[in-house]
Structure 1
Amino acid sequence: MPVVWPDCTSIILTMKLTAIFLIAAFIQVSGKSFSQQVTIHHKNISIEKVLQLIEDQSSYHFLFKINDLSSSRNVDLELTNVSVEQALDQCFKNTAFTYKIINRTILVKKTADLPDRAAANSFVLQKIQGVVTDEKGAPLPGVTIKLKGTTTGTITDTDGKFTLEVPDANSTLIVSFIGFTSQEVLTNGRNVLNIHLKEAPKDLGEIVVVGYGQQRKETLTGSISTVSGKEITQSPAPNVVSSLAGKLPGLVVNQRSGQPGADDPSIIVRGVATFYNGGSGSGPLIIVDGVERTIISRLNPNDIESISVLKDGSAAIYGARAANGVILITTKRGKKGKPDFSFSYNYALQSPTKVPKVLDAATFAQVYNEGNFYRQSTGSTFTTPPGYQPFYSDAAIQAYRSGSDPVNFPNTDWAGVTLKNHSFVKNYNMQVIGGSDNVHYLFSFGRLKQDGGYVHDPQNYTQYNFRSKVDVDINKYLNIGANLSGTLDTKAYSTVASNVQFINILQANPTITAIYPNGLIGPGRLGENPLLIDQRGYDNISETPLYSTFTASFKVPHVDGLKIDASYNYDLDNVFEKRWNIPYFYYQYNVNTKNYDRIQGSATGTTELTDTYSKYTTTLSNIRVSYDHNFRNHHVAAMVGKEQQQNTFSGADAYRKNFLTQALPQINYGSSVPADQANGGSASSSARNNYFGRFNYDLDSKYLVEFLFRYDGSPIFPSNNRYGFFPGASVGWRLSEEKFLKDRAPFINQLKLRATYGEIGNDRVGTYNYLQAYNFGQNYVFGSTDAPGIYSNVLPNPNIHWEVSKKTDFGLESELWNGLLGVDFTYYLEKRSNILAIPNLSVSQVLGFPALPAENIGKMDNHGFELSVSTRSKIGEVTYSIAANLNYNRSKIIYQDEVPPQEPYQGFTGHPFGAGMYYKADGIFHTQAELDAYPHDPNTRVGDVKMLDLNHDGKIDSKDQFTFDGSVLPRYTFGLNMNFAYKSFDLNVFLQGQAAAWNYDNTFASLGTTDFANAAVERAQNRWTVSNPNGTMPRSDGYQPGNSTFYLFNASFVRLKTVQLGYTLPQNVVSKIGMNNLRVFMSGFNVITWAKQITWADPELNGGYTTYPQQRIINFGATVKF
């Protein structure tokens, strides 16, 4: 099966050659002296100016005393392509100066007399040794120690120790480490230093990724939630998006399926704020390393550095695509230090979180008899018709119950024979991170293999991914980088859709044999026995996305803080699908002949093959100019940029049938008869062009202001509406920096008020609705013959444009007692306008159009709050951190020009998105007297659901339906994350859930309707029967005139989403076997679920009978570092 397209070979070759040339360049650049040459042609130039010219042309930095150079005489230099050493020798010739090169720092020192070689050699460095620990005395590995004013430095080893040579016995060292407050340490002639770092208040020094840049969290004015890659890897979920559920305030992640490779959750940021096309355009914009991506679920979690979610006006910098929020994913990059090799292995067992329990054969037969009787009887009293005989006799029901004759009277547990007790997930990851002073690199590789849950299903998912990220400092001004990544994604499925397969399992008649004692496969539900799924062919899909990004960053010389960044990105994604259908057969026991009749299945009776090819490309170029500078206590940062993007798609498909042999499933071996063939193809392209910018100002990191904008062009709108301006602004006030608060409440580490406003667009409204579209078909009649021709069945809208979202946000952030208590609260309000809606006007059929085109007339409001509370501390040897978040969201449709409702309690205007129309149930009719005493539908009988007469007109009809505000979208979501550490043990426990969400389960309502539809045990328990008139559930084959609240269930739940227990082996043990670190762990995903009402299925799924179930995962793993 093809994996990549032919033209992919040239792309891969280009990437390989690029990588080879880059690596060769990196090796050359990373030499100790860098082999750098300089050119200087100047008369009467100061030595200080010479040193500046050398800095400009090389990667060296100079360390000297200003007073020494200010008194020196000027020099004449005529140098062309000479080494730095030669230039310095000429510069200092016949002067009172000497120098010494230490890594990339050049120390310049004045001597008492004219120097000779002995004087130069007398330049002695002082060796400083030391150890860095935390406040408890524990050593801190990886701490950075730098000589102030230079790039000379080192990092501590695994024991917190370091050694550094300095030019002066009274040097100043800067000691910094993530999560701790940086310190300046004076050596004061000491050769041995013991440095104790204090833990920084939580998050204050954290760097947050924002649109086209980074900002300090303490001065951030936007509403941006972040999660680290480390937190994500605590979950063993194969899909990285699944690991985000409940982690980030304002981000709602719902897992609707557990099918391997097709389990992408829905992602919503602060609710749904548009009703266009059923809210299908409500997903956020996703950016990975600065580039828009559509596939993120298969990112390797080990490659992720952080994830940020822009939820308010801060998203305006992404313009017409950001109204639904923006998710920014940043991957890891290399760092200075020796290569750090890590390898992780995970082996997991997975099984469904919940499989509905259905009726056994005897109960099914009894329930079906009841339903069959009710269908054939007459009147609301169920009068027995003449000659009535039950479908299943009492003797047969007893035989099903006893199991004495499994051939003729089987009791088939379809879930038991077709679903595996567990399947496997295997995950390998390897990563190398390191670098020198001027070259940083990261290389990673991963493999994931996930098996399906059906016994005879070939279903499985395999993923290989790689990433290569290299950054090179050509000199102190210029940095270049390359980020290459890709995935080989292979899905092996059956030709039966997973939801259909699950229906065939859970609704299959238990009185039908799945597999006979002699091993022959039985018929199953409507001839669809799930045990035959591997004999029906396959549906294999391979996808090979390849991503490449090349960057350059240039710091403008002599202008501190001025920088130019540029990037170019090229993405190529090839998808190939081969769907192969072949005839299959099952067996039916013939009670008359005592033989097993071979019967062809209900699918196609011949061989069929469909090959589908798709190719997607994206090119993105970006250039930005930024300025960042401090003017005493004023900090100013500004950035402007331009971005251009082009997307292309091309696809082709071919269909053949009636193959000569099943051994050759290739298109060219199919039938040559035209009727047995079909071919198709399509192509499209689009482009974007936009400008963006941001301005930040703060005074003493206390008073904060930000303005940002995007002038965006969208390709799907007409020229008069193609461009738009999207502004955003925010302010902040850090009260914790005010002197009056610092003096009176020193325990307050952070107290910040912030407010934001932004106008953002949403252009996910279909493509080219402003153009007249045409179709081909047999739509013309000449005489009595249909003739092919071009026709149009839709009207264009030449004035269509994007939705506009006006977002307002108010927030408070606080941190007390160095993290003992943290509270963040945000209230937000969004007003969405220009939503596409079809006007409520009738159209004459003479026009040939079914309806008018959609117009930008809809309006919708959306509001809510987010609350986060955290604490962290240490009790004895136990370190802990606990963080909880609670989110509330409610939307309201303001205007959509809907058909006027019949009653005031109907219609959708004024109600939340997702609201539905239902009859209001009030139990069931238990007796004929109850039925006679209350209005009801003419078809309603005793044992049916009782519908309330809401308009009190004495009858039940459509006017009694009302609008129920609940939907599958939860109004409340929450998460609780707890981390504990004791000596070498660590424990993470994460709970997640939702409240005020509702699922309507129409399948659950079905009971005893047909002989091929089984039902849940909970549905049949305590059902109304003639002999059980006090039953609380409706009768078999019950009737209701429409959807009612009786089958509308509260989908609230709390789930133990992840738990992980780890143990890190002692350093003195692992070092003996050549390792730096060895950690073993056990983790779980979707471990336990506590549901409010839906107990027979997973409450997060939309339908327990029609969806591949979510998976519970028990994982065992180890991580090794060298």
Structure 2
Amino acid sequence: MNRLTKIMFVLGFLLTSVWSYSSNSVYAQNQKFSFEFKQTSIKTIFQYIEKHSEFIFMYRTDLLDTSKKVSVKVEKQSIEQILEQVLKGTSVVYEINDRQIVLKKGLERSEEVPQQSRQNKLIQGLVKDDKGDVIIGATIKVKGTTIGTTTNMDGLYNLSVPSENSILIVSYIGYATQEIKVGNRQNIIITLQEDAKNLEEVVVTAYGTGQKKASMVGSVQSIRPADLKVPASNLSTSFAGRLAGVIAVQRSGEPGADGANFWIRGVSTLGSASTSPLIIIDGIESTTTDLNALDPEVIDGFSILKDATATAMYGMRGANGVMIVTTKSGAALDKPIINFRMEASMSTPTSIPEFVDGVTFMELYNEAVRNQPAGKEAYTQERIDGTRQGLNPYIFPNVDWYGEMFKDRSFSETFNFNIRGGGKKVDYFSSISVGHESGMLKSRSKDFFSFDNNISRMRYSFQNNINARLGKTSKLSLRLNVMLVDKRGPNESTSSLFSSVMNTNPVDAPIMFPDDGTTSYIKWGVPTNTAVNPLATMVNGYDDTFQSTVTASLNFDQKLDFLVDGLTFKAMASLKNFSQSVQTRYSDWNKFTVNNWSLNDDGTYNMEVIQEGAEVGTELKTKSSNTGDRRIYLQAMLEYNRTFGKHDVGALLIYNQDEYMNNNPGTDLLVALPTRRQGIAARASYAYDGRYLAEVNLGYNGSENFAKGNRFGLFPSIAVGYNISEEKFFQPLRNVISRMKVRASYGLVGNGNIGGQRFAYLADVDLTGSPAFTTGINMDRTLTGPSYKRFANYDLGWEVGKKYNIGLDMTLFNNLNLTVDVFREDRTDIFQTKATIPSYLGVYGTSYYVNSAAVRNQGIDASIDFGHQFNKDFSMTFKGTFTYAHNEIRAYEESVGDRANLSRIGYSTSQQWGYVSDYLFADQAEINNHPSQLIGGTVGPGDIKYVNQPNVYGVYDDIIDKNDMVPIGNPTTPEIVYGFGPSFHYKGFDLSFFFQGVAKTSLFMSGLQPFGTMTDNKNVQTFIADDRWSPENQNIFAKYPRLTIERSANNSATSTYWERDGAFLKLKNAEIGYTFKSMRLYLRGSNLLTFSKFKLWDPEQGGGNGLKYPTQRVFNIGFQMTIK
């Protein structure tokens, strides 16, 4: 069949479908009858109906006793109402297909209906949709009871109900639930209509305005907090895999710092420009910290704005996508709804690096010494044996620093109380939340001091939303959120503490020496005065950080129908004030070491302990700091929505202004000046008959970073949509494809943020700097005097992104929703510092910003949502998402000469450059015959061997240096993020689990090199001891090169040797619960399992040496009660 024949076949099918559909009219609904029969046979009544209408009865003769006499009186009634009376008392049900009336045998009551009391009423019937198709698996329940059933394969049901006053609740996924009073009917035919909520569902879009989901043409995803299944302390950690188009990774598990880094549709810019999406909470620009602090109980929903149509109205702020969060509102209720939730959790590290013991360390150190010329072993056999035998712990220390400082579990608790209610004039929603988190640091300070060094974070949150209707056309709303956080912990950062574990070996000093009564302070053990004792740094002081965030918005809505029907005026004024005070208590600590020791005849030891450095006071000192900022936002809006017959018209015009002020600017003038923005946004939309959709948006913004003439930017977008499933010719396919819509959009977005710079087009001159600048061919002439920190550039302008999007929304079989979007963004004029000015001109360190770079970001995101009700007790849903986002630098300010391999053009913004390793050198002969490796250090057998790279002309220089670096591995930001998982409901039980994974990403190990000088002698991870090159194990494929005392730049350089596959699949969440009438108990786990090729630590934490606060495996037990 050729292409033309296929097209003709499809056209013919569609034309036939259209004709068939037009003939299948609403005849049955419109045909009315008026007649009266007394004690007349059913057959006679059927014949009368056939004679006076186009109906035809079809049935088996053995199905119904048509000679049975009945009395019927009807007045302008439909065929269904007549059949209800005629078939009353029989086991026959009917189905109307256009003009055909098919009689069927109902369910056998003895098989399907449980034995009931004689007072119960037996009913039967059929459930169908508005097109006449039977519905299989529809649920029919008697309201207020546990009595219920489901329809069979023919859409039939029967049920025993308590009385004629019983009310049936009929439901099926994708259709509106109906309540039907039984009355005196025995045969009840039920027609379900498609759920109007699916069509009328309003999705929150730009500036908090709503659009009907069915008529929306932008790429927007909405989700409810309950679908995230996240521990209450953090929201952003659940985004990955659950929100299509969102790429998220969690790099830390530290309380208060365990939020995920996330991007909407990946990264489209580079350098110092912001890559984070805009977060709007109740109309107010917020931070990721604000988002993570929100209790899920107060959130009504999320909307993720992804394409230009959805984000263009935000102009310069929406270039990287927008996340809109709305909190709950009150409602006019007879009595308030009170909700209480209590949750307790236990956290354990998902994975932690392992270290060798003291004996293994010393043996490996001696091996490293022997691997170098004229090496002399540092640790004697006597010392090794003494450590192995566990003799005197001060002379032969063997300290597990990780075990001494960190514990394997921590605990947290969360409480929330909220109330929702109101009347016709005023409604309200109020919530109070209290949360406590503890860290995994051991409380060792309690052994010595009166304070606790472990992390303890208390969070108090108050949300109060009030809506007051001032009249029929006016409404005033107040949204108030107060967030208080009190965090205590060591005054040494956790990253520093974990790093100190790596930098301190187990044998060179004990934790502390015994108190001999000669001092009033602790004698902390160190090998030298410059060395660090990790435990001492952890316990000698603490930070107490108190943060308060107050966010308030006042909204006024006024309908202006008295001027123009459908016109509304809205205004908002908001304030967000953040303040932070840090009180630090700290003390110095005294360092001691063993100078000499001797063994007595009785087996005891004498040792001379001396102080390293001068004695210092150990009293607690104090210092404090205060920071904060304030944001004031004003917005005015005119919104117009009208329907004229089949035409839906909408328009929106918004003015907004914003002022940001640093509350503690110090002496920096630029910091002291408030940052102000103004903008105008507009939208116009049109829909015809719910089928043809169009929308135009624009944002007009100004930026202080650009000179006059470039200061303002206009960012328009246009989108169209087509609801194919609303066409008449599509109706025959609606049984399979319930809904189908295609979308397309194009638009511009802008970015004016230049890495925190202000007035970037102006020159910045330092009048006090000394020395001022260095110049000369050899960079050997330094001059003093004024110098430029930044050159002026009055041509600096907007970074502009062109966004393209094509989308498909589809529903199959009324229970499978599928959304697919293909997107591309071309970001041009990206800000960069000029890199091609020779340093010898004296401008080294001087910034000169230009619009020079370009990035293309493209990919696909998709989501699937399936639900099915198997019977009245059992149902399931399945959700899945997939996101692929790949970016590529198209233009870049760089100077690479004849080394094309150094160019970033054509590669990802998170692409890593390094050397290509060819495993390890086998022997000296191979080294002698290999190009010289000038990366750093003396190269020997067992060191990493690198590949020499040619220049652009294909010439090899036989020297391996920085010019031989090439792009290696996959980007460090995942390009693929996906998630999937089912949930099941059986009676009161619910069970769900969700998997989340990433792919096309690499991590690079670094900072692992042990040893060094005796004053800087690092620890050794176990994997190094297990699989390293050594004279006894000359394996060139070993996982670690030869050990050396010197820090070998050759072996620590970034290369494919240290590249690992960063892909993983996690069992992200699992939850089981049971719901009573008004109470629910549940157990939940997060980060339960990880499947990955990389085993040393959690691959989600990224590269490095794994020594950071680990991500946590969290187990929650919760209790929730609702009182209505």
Bin the TM-score by the shorter chain: 0.7 to 0.9
* Distance in 1 between residues matched to 2:732 and 2:339, nearest whole Å: 47
2:554–2:572 contact (8 Å) kept in structure 1:
yes
- Of the three residues 501, 517, 526, the one matched with 1:505 is 501
Once the two structures are superposed, residues 314-362 of structure 1 have per-residue CA deviations (whole angstroms, 9 ceiling, x without a partner) of 2001001111111111111112212111111111111221110111111
Are 2:423 and 1:436 aligned?
A: yes
1:417-428 correspondence runs (5 A): 417-428=404-415
Q: Per-residue displacement from partner, 1:554-590 (whole Å, max 9, x unpaired)?
A: 1124444221111111222112122333212355455
- Paired residue for 1:733, among 698, 722, 730? 722
The residue that corresponds to 1:1088 in the other structure is 1089
Say whether residues 1:583 and 2:588 are aligned partners: yes
Note if 1:651 corresponds to 2:664: yes
Deviations 1:1017-1062 (Å, cap 9, x if unpaired)? 1123221111111261311125627321101221111111122111
Q: Among residues 992, 995, 1002, which one is paired with 1:991 in the alignment?
A: 995
Mean Cα deviation higher: 314-323 or 715-724: 715-724
Question: In structure 2, what is the equivalent of residue 795 of structure 1?
Answer: 791
Question: In structure 1, what is the Cα distance between the partners aligned to 2:841 and 2:523?
Answer: 56
Which of residues 374, 379, 383 in structure 1 aligns to 2:371?
Answer: 374
Match of 2:638 among 619, 625, 632: 625
Q: Is the 8 A contact 1:570 1:619 kept in 2?
A: yes
> 3-state DSSP class of the match of 2:939?
coil
Q: Deviations over 1:404-455 (max 9, x none)?
A: 4433223322211210121111111111011112321100011111112111
Tell me if structure 1 keeps the 8 A contact 2:306–2:321. yes
* CA distance in structure 2 between the aligned counterparts of 1:1084 and 1:235, rounded to whole angstroms: 9
User: What TM-score results when the alignment is normalised by the length of structure 2?
Assistant: 0.76
Alpha carbons of structure 1 residues 827 and 603: separation in structure 2 relative to 1, 3 Å: farther
SS at 2:1104's partner residue?
Answer: coil
Amino acid at match of 1:1025: S
Secondary structure of the structure 2 residue equivalent to 1:1018: helix
Q: In 2, Cα distance between the equivalents of 1:915 and 1:445?
A: 45
Q: What aligned pairs does 1:85-234 form with structure 2 within 5 A after superposition?
A: 135-138=138-141, 181-182=175-176, 200=195, 204-212=199-207, 213-232=209-228, 234=229
Checking the alignment, whether the CA contact within 8 Å between 1:842 and 1:851 is kept in structure 2 is no
Judge conservation of contact 1:696–1:706 (CA < 8 Å) in 2.
yes
Question: Is 1:959 aligned to 2:963, yes or no?
Answer: yes
CA distance in 2 between counterparts of 1:862 and 1:568 reads: 36
| Percentage identity across paired residues of the two chains | 26
Between 1:880-889 and 1:572-581, the stretch displaced more is: 572-581
Instruction: Report the equivalent of 1:945.
Output: 944
Q: Deviations over 1:912-969 (max 9, x none)?
A: 1122221101211223343344334263210011211232443423332212262310
Mean CA deviation greater in 551-560 or 195-204: 195-204
User: Is the CA contact (8 Å cut-off) linking 1:452 and 1:460 kept in structure 2?
Assistant: yes
Q: 1:351 aligns with which of 334, 348, 351?
A: 348
Residue 842 of structure 1 is matched in structure 2 by: 837
Q: Pick closer, same or farther for the CA change 1:430–1:319 going to 2, 3 Å.
A: same
- Deviations 1:718-742 (CA, angstroms, capped at 9, x unpaired): 2322211110111111111122221
Asked whether the 8 Å contact 2:923–2:940 carries over to 1, the reply is: no
Q: Give the AA of the match of 1:539.
A: D
| 1:382-411 deviations in Å (ceiling 9; x for gaps) | xxx3xx531112333233334344332233
Out of 766-775 and 800-809, give the one that drifted further: 766-775
Deviations 1:510-568 (Å, cap 9, x if unpaired)? Answer: 11455469597743686433333454222222111111111111112444422111111
Equivalent AA in structure 1 for residue 381 of structure 2: D
1:396–1:409 Cα contact (<8 Å) kept: yes
**Cα distance in 2 between the residues matched to 1:924 and 1:606:** 53
- Counterpart of 1:1119 in structure 2 is 1120
Equivalent residue for 1:248?
A: 243
Q: What is the number of residues matched between the two proteins?
A: 914
2:1111 matched residue in structure 1: 1110
Cα offset, 1:261, TM superposition: 1.5
* In 2, Cα distance between equivalents of 1:1056 and 1:1097: 13
Which of 1052, 1067, 1075 aligns to 2:1063? It is: 1052
Q: Residues 365 and 183 of structure 1: is their aligned pair in 2 closer, same or farther, counting only changes over 3 Å?
A: closer
2:1050: which partner in 1? 1040
* Aligned equivalent of 1:724: 713
Query: Matched residues in 2 for 1:207 and 1:943: separation?
Result: 65
Q: What residue in structure 1 maps to residue 776 of structure 2?
A: none
Q: How far off its partner does 1:1096 sit?
A: 3.6
Q: Provide the residue aligned with 1:670 in structure 2.
A: none
Q: How many angstroms apart in 2 are the aligned matches of 1:329 and 1:1027?
A: 61
Deviation of the 1:209 alpha carbon = 1.0
- Separation in 1, partners of 2:621, 2:783: 29
Moved more, 281-290 or 719-728: 719-728
Distance 1:796 1:311 in 2: 35
Secondary structure of the residue that 1:753 maps to in structure 2? Answer: strand
CA contact (8 A) 2:547 2:580 kept: yes
1:411 maps to 398
Secondary structure of the corresponding residue to residue 732 of structure 2: helix
Structure 1 residues 610 and 176, CA gap change in structure 2 (3 angstroms): farther
Q: Does the 8 Å contact 1:975/1:991 carry over to 2?
A: yes
Structure 1 residues 868 and 679 mapped into 2: Cα distance closer, same or farther (>3 Å)?
A: closer
- Alpha carbons of structure 1 residues 594 and 400: separation in structure 2 relative to 1, 3 Å: closer
Residues 812 and 599 (structure 1 numbering): CA distance in 2 closer, same or farther, change over 3 Å?
Answer: same
Partner of 1:1014: 1019
Deviation at 1:184? Answer: 8.9
463 and 852 in structure 1: CA distance in 2 versus 1, 3 angstrom threshold:
closer
Distance 1:1030 1:458, change over 3 A: closer
1:1024-1035 aligned at under 5 Å gives the runs 1024-1030=1029-1035, 1032=1038, 1033-1035=1040-1042
> What corresponds to 2:3 in structure 1?
none
Residue identity in the other structure for 1:398 = D
Name the CA distance, whole Å, in 1 between partners of 2:557 and 2:633. Answer: 17
Q: Report the Cα distance in structure 2 between the residues aligned to 1:999 and 1:601, rounded to whole angstroms.
A: 44
- TM-score, length basis structure 1: 0.76
The answer to whether 1:1078 aligns with 2:1099 is no
For structure 1, list consecutive stretches of 5 or more residues without a partner in the other structure: 1-132, 142-158, 165-172, 378-384, 654-677, 1068-1076
CA distance in 2 between counterparts of 1:467 and 1:970 reads 36
Residue 301 of structure 2 corresponds to residue 301 of structure 1 = no
State the shift of 1:179 in Å. 7.5
**Does the 8 Å contact 2:421/2:429 carry over to 1?**
yes
Change (3 A) 1:708 1:591: same
Contact map agreement 1:1059 1:1084 (CA 8 A) in 2: yes
Q: Does 1:546 align with 2:550?
A: yes
> Structure 1 850/597 Cα, relative in aligned 2: closer, same or farther at 3 Å?
closer
Aligned to 2:852: 857
Residue 104 of structure 2: aligned partner: none
Mapped partners of 2:645, 2:989: distance in 1: 47
Match of 2:745 among 745, 753, 756: 756
- Structure 2, unaligned stretches of length 5 or more? 1-126, 128-136, 145-160, 445-452, 516-521, 598-605, 773-781, 951-955
- The answer as to whether partners of 1:1098 and 1:1110 remain within 8 angstroms in 2 is no
Instruction: Describe the shift of the 1:633–1:981 C-alpha distance in structure 2 as closer, same or farther (beyond 3 A).
Output: same
CA shift in 2, pair 1:204/1:942, >3 Å: farther
